[in-house]
Amino acid sequence: MRMHEIGPAVFQADGPIVGVTREEIGFLRQQAVQSAGGRARLCAHPGPNDATQEMLIVLGRGTTYIHPHVHPGKVESFHVMEGRMTVVLFEDDGKILEVVKMGDYPSGRAFYYRQQRSIYHTILPETDYVAFQEVTQGPFSRENTTLAPWCPAEKDALKKFLDELRKSVGAA
């Protein structure tokens, strides 16, 4: 499979057929390790205006801090291929609504997840890295993501908040 970089640790698959092997996941893992945010992504959809956005994402534990956020009016699903992660869902006021422990199929955890409505959420990687597929509705626009106002925005404060959240939900 061919791909090209479209942003820092963000890659676009080339061609009408996308077949991903362990080699590409290994490449994304390497890119995640080298990236400042501890993450890398492969966009399998042709572009940001597509109605369906399909991405393969690799997150590193301890280096990735995903600010709790919501995508108003969008449905989102995850399918874990390797590793383990915890998805934390929040009420609008920041109270924990639900915790979804995820892992690959052999882990015995949920390997597939879909949220039916727009809801604040974050992902906490539990293994050195986690590789998963994310599918959501397009088109993509950064303006379609709302950061949780009850969560600190500054990096060190966000790290502390998420580390405390990790402990409270048992996300090792």
Sorted by where each starts, the structural domains of the chain and their CATH numbers stand as 3-169 (2.60.120.10)
Q: Measure the CA–CA gap between 139 and 76, rounded to whole angstroms.
A: 13
Structure tokens belonging to residue 150 = 């009850």
Number of C-beta neighbours around residue 87 at 10 A: 22
- pLDDT tens figures, 9-65: 999 999 899 999 999 999 999 999 999 889 999 999 988 888 899 999 999 988 888
The closest of 90, 47, 86 to 69, measured between CA atoms, is 90
Question: Is 120:165 a contact under the CB 8 Å cutoff?
Answer: no
Structure letter (DSSP) for residue 149: T
Q: b vs e for 119-129, b when ≥16 Cβ sit within 10 Å of the residue's Cβ?
A: ebbbbbbbbeb
Whether the per-residue pLDDT at 151 is higher than 80: the answer is: yes
Report the candidate in 150, 137, 123 with the shortest Cα–Cα distance to residue 71. 137
| Residue 15 backbone dihedrals phi, psi, to 5 degrees | 95, 165
The residue that leads in pLDDT, 137 or 127, is: 127
The pLDDT assigned to 155 comes to 77
Distance CA 89, CA 99 (A): 6
Strands 39-43 and 76-82: unpaired
State residue 82's pLDDT score: 96
What is the Cα–Cα distance from 116 to 74, expressed in whole angstroms? Answer: 8
Contact (Cβ atoms closer than 8 angstroms) between residue 69 and residue 146: yes
**Tokens 């874990």 belong to residue:** 80
Mean pLDDT across the chain? 92
* pTM assigned to the model: 0.91
